[in-house]
Amino acid sequence: MALDSDASRGEPAPDIQKFLGFKSTREEFYAEGEKFLNLFLILAILLLIIGIAGSFTPALPGALLSAAGVLIYWWSTGYSDPGTLFIIFTVILTIMALLLDWFSGAITAKMGGASNKTSFMAGIAGIFGFIFLGGPVGVIIAVGGTVFLREYMKTGNARDARKAGIYSAIGVFASAFMQAAITITIFIGFLLALVF
């Protein structure tokens, strides 16, 4: 019994290829793949731009969107472009941005005179504020409110509690600018990685 030459190479016969929707030549298959690769590149760039805007916009996790754009494009290229070193760089920067977002208020609350316990509670409140109250605005409300209430309950001094709450809010705003710097760095790095 003779085998079909296409089947012996592990490829379906031409009529089966057409039925299953396969491209008849490898060139057509790769041309179709390039179209999808271009779509993934456009999606990645859009996510990177939205990520930059998300650094300043409530309820948009800027660093996560930027990282998603890079990782989606990396996946679409078969994990070859951009290189692994840039992917590690992106993940580290994203983790730094998330930590800044969640804990900057707690650190600056400590600088404003809040106790260690209040600073710790502000850090936890920042995480819950981010998740349940909607991004950076939720973090500001949760951190500032927690610091003010905790310090006021502890000392009964509204002025000192307000000072600690304001310091924590300033820390959260400073975090937004740092996140913008991080997301812009990821965007520029992504473009450079594509070119070089």
Distance between CA atoms of residues 57 and 78, nearest Å = 32
DSSP symbols for 49-92: HHHHHHTTSTT--HHHHHHHHHHHHHHHTTS-SS-HHHHHHHHH
Distance between CA atoms of residues 117 and 110, nearest Å = 9
Q: To which H or E segment does residue 12 belong?
A: none
- Per residue in 140-179, pLDDT (tens digit) is 888 889 989 998 999 899 998 898 888 887 887 788 889 8
What lies within 8 Å, CB to CB, of 79 at 6+ separation is none
Distance between CA atoms of residues 190 and 66, nearest Å = 10
pLDDT above 80 (res 15): no
Q: What pLDDT, on a 0 to 100 scale, did the predictor assign at position 143?
A: 83
Q: What pLDDT, on a 0 to 100 scale, did the predictor assign at position 159?
A: 92
Domain extent listing, the chain: 15-195
Residue predicted with more confidence, 111 or 85: 85
- Per residue in 118-138, pLDDT (tens digit) is 878 887 888 888 788 877 778
- Per residue in 32-63, pLDDT (tens digit) is 666 667 889 999 999 999 999 888 765 578 89
Q: What pLDDT, on a 0 to 100 scale, did the predictor assign at position 175?
A: 80
Distance between CA atoms of residues 185 and 100, nearest Å = 16
| Closest CA relative to residue 147, chosen from 186, 189, 115, 180 | 115
Q: What pLDDT, on a 0 to 100 scale, did the predictor assign at position 89?
A: 95
Q: How confident is the model at residue 20 (pLDDT cuts 50, 70, 90)?
A: low
Size of the chain, expressed as the number of residues it contains: 196
Distance between CA atoms of residues 79 and 16, nearest Å = 31
Distance between CA atoms of residues 164 and 173, nearest Å = 15
Once rounded to an integer, what is the mean pLDDT over residues 64-71?
A: 96
Q: What pLDDT, on a 0 to 100 scale, did the predictor assign at position 64?
A: 94
- Per residue in 77-103, pLDDT (tens digit) is 889 889 999 999 999 999 999 888 777
Q: What is the pTM of this model?
A: 0.66
